[in-house]
């Protein structure tokens, strides 16, 4: 029996609701399966904590998290706290300090999901978003405030090493999974310093992978191709901002933000990786009990896969698919009338049935 220590940060808005369901599923699974156990430790960090203590997490927060095998993260974002504080004092420090430079976001249409596209071909590709540098930097500043010439400068940081490691990760993934092609998102026609370094470096890495084609598209055209022919993508590699936008778009093609998971991965395993739905705290539906927990439950499945249990991960995804296919217990974002916890309960029920029949 392997025993895992998982840090849970439920966070704000719908974060706690969907995280509760993910834990429900993991607990049900560990009761059925004797090969692993999980010890959860909860950290009540987030906007409430900020309003009380003037900071988003404890001073030694990163030190505390470091000891865990992985982190399950809800979401942050609260109208009473500026977004730059909630994002830059909680998620960003974790992603950056723990060198979670890979943000893996599967864009996969599960059976039972209706795509908004007329062309209903299968969609199944992986987006690797650079997660540690790029456009999401706090370097820059504001000048001449409240004067007519007021201006802001926001610097993008692209390092050769940073691009190399994400590109390699994408190509290695392609190789391991018998993919034939990696698509790179760029904009080197207009963003001529950082994106040119991106292109050159991705090209160099591609040279080491015979048999895997590299295609490169400008981000604007690529966004259009996502909609026009999503079935043609296998592996996509993108900078922090481009990957962020592309994956919300990708999510929309496969059922929306309510079903799309992600993992913030530290490939060297020097630090814990962090798993979270790609959506935010969804203030418009917070407190109503109707958030779709599937994205977070699927993120928990990615966590199990990362910990070395692809079979258990697949069992969770298969239970999600059964619930989607039956189409009876769904939250409003998928056209249903059920609550967050009803969806969680039904996924647990399917997991139990499938586990017994296995």
With CB under 5 to 8 Å by kind, the binding choice for 114 among ligand NAD, Mn ion, none is: none
Please identify which residue in 9, 28, 76, 307 interacts with ligand NAD, judged by CB under 6 A: 76
CA distances for 270 relative to 97, 222, 274, 279, angstroms: 11, 34, 13, 27
Please identify which residue in 10, 16, 46, 77 interacts with ligand NAD, judged by CB under 6 A: 77
Question: Which span (54-62, 95-103, 234-242, 289-297) binds ligand NAD, by CB under 6 A?
Answer: 289-297
Contact in structure between 292 and 18 (CB atoms under 8 Å): yes
Q: What is the DSSP string of 243-282?
A: HHHHHHHHHHHTT-GGG-EEEEE-TT-SS-EEEEESS---
Write each residue from 189 to 228 as x if it is in contact with ligand NAD (CB under 6 A), else as -, in one continuous string. ----------------------------------------
Question: Which span (139-147, 240-248, 294-302, 315-323) binds Mn ion, by CB under 5 A?
Answer: 240-248
Q: What is the DSSP string of 68-79?
A: SSEEEEEE--BT
Contact in structure between 229 and 117 (CB atoms under 8 Å): no
d(CA 109, CA 334): 13
Number of residues that bind Mn ion (CB under 5 A): 1
| 135 touches Mn ion (CB under 5 A) | no
| 244 touches Mn ion (CB under 5 A) | yes
Please identify which residue in 116, 283, 310, 327 interacts with ligand NAD, judged by CB under 6 A: 283
| 230 touches ligand NAD (CB under 6 A) | no
- The single residue listed with the structure tokens 């992978």 is 209
CA distances for 356 relative to 151, 178, 346, angstroms: 63, 32, 15
Please identify which residue in 95, 109, 168, 279 interacts with ligand NAD, judged by CB under 6 A: 279
With CB under 5 to 8 Å by kind, the binding choice for 350 among Mn ion, ligand NAD, none is: none
Element (H, E) at 215: strand 213-218
d(CA 18, CA 333): 14
With CB under 5 to 8 Å by kind, the binding choice for 130 among ligand NAD, Mn ion, none is: none
Please identify which residue in 6, 7, 18, 320 interacts with ligand NAD, judged by CB under 6 A: 18
CB of 115 to Mn ion, least distance (A): 20
CB of 279 to Mn ion, least distance (A): 8
| 343 touches ligand NAD (CB under 6 A) | no
Instruction: Say which DSSP state 90 is in.
Output: I
With CB under 5 to 8 Å by kind, the binding choice for 210 among ligand NAD, Mn ion, none is: none
Instruction: Say which DSSP state 212 is in.
Output: -
| 69 touches Mn ion (CB under 5 A) | no
Task: Name which of 95 and 165 has its Cβ closer to ligand NAD.
Answer: 95
CA distances for 233 relative to 78, 212, 222, 269, 344, angstroms: 35, 13, 10, 28, 31
What distance lies between CA 216 and its chain's CA centroid? 23
With CB under 5 to 8 Å by kind, the binding choice for 47 among ligand NAD, Mn ion, none is: none
CB of 106 to ligand NAD, least distance (A): 16
Backbone φ, ψ for residue 165 (5° rounding):
-70, -35
Please identify which residue in 194, 280, 298, 307 interacts with ligand NAD, judged by CB under 6 A: 280
Q: What is the DSSP string of 156-171?
A: -B--HHHHHHHHHHHH
How many CB atoms are closer than 10 A to CB 114? Answer: 13
Q: Which positions lie near ligand NAD, rule CB under 6 A?
A: 14, 18, 75-77, 83, 87, 91, 257-258, 276, 279-285, 291-292, 295, 331, 333
Q: Which positions lie near Mn ion, rule CB under 5 A?
A: 244
């Amino acid at each position: 029996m392997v025993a895992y220590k998982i840090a849970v940060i439920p966070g704000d808005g719908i974060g706690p609701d969907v995280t509760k369901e993910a834990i429900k599923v993991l607990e049900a699974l560990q009761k059925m399966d004797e090969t692993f156990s999980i010890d959860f430790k909860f950290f009540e960090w987030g906007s409430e904590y900020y309003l009380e203590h003037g900071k988003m997490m404890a001073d030694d927060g990163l030190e505390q998290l470091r000891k865990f095998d992985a982190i399950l993260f809800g979401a942050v974002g609260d109208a009473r706290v500026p977004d730059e504080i909630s994002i830059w004092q909680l998620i960003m420090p974790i992603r950056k300090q723990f060198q979670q430079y890979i943000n893996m976001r599967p864009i996969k249409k599960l059976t039972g999901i209706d795509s908004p596209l007329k062309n209903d071909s299968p969609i199944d590709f992986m987006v690797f978003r650079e997660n540690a540098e790029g456009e999401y930097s706090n370097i820059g500043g504001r000048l001449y405030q409240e004067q007519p010439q007021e201006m802001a400068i926001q610097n993008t940081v692209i390092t050769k090493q940073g691009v190399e490691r994400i590109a390699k990760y994408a190509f290695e993934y392609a190789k391991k999974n018998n993919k034939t092609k990696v698509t790179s998102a760029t904009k080197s026609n207009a963003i001529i310093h950082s994106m040119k370094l991106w292109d050159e470096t991705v090209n160099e890495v591609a040279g080491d992978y015979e048999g895997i084609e590299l295609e490169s598209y400008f981000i604007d055209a690529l966004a259009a191709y996502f909609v026009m022919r999503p079935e043609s993508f296998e592996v996509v590699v993108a900078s922090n901002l481009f990957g962020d936008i592309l994956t919300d778009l990708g999510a929309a093609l496969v059922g929306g933000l309510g079903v799309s998971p992600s993992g913030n991965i530290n490939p060297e395993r020097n630090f814990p990786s962090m798993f979270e739905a790609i959506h935010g705290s969804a203030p418009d539906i917070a407190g109503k009990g109707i958030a779709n927990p599937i994205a977070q439950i699927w993120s928990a499945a990615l966590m199990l896969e990362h910990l070395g249990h692809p079979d258990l991960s697949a069992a969770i995804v298969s239970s999600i698919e059964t619930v989607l296919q039956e189409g009876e217990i769904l939250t409003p974002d998928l056209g249903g009338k059920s609550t967050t916890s009803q969806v969680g309960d039904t996924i647990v029920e399917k997991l139990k049935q499938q586990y017994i029949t296995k």
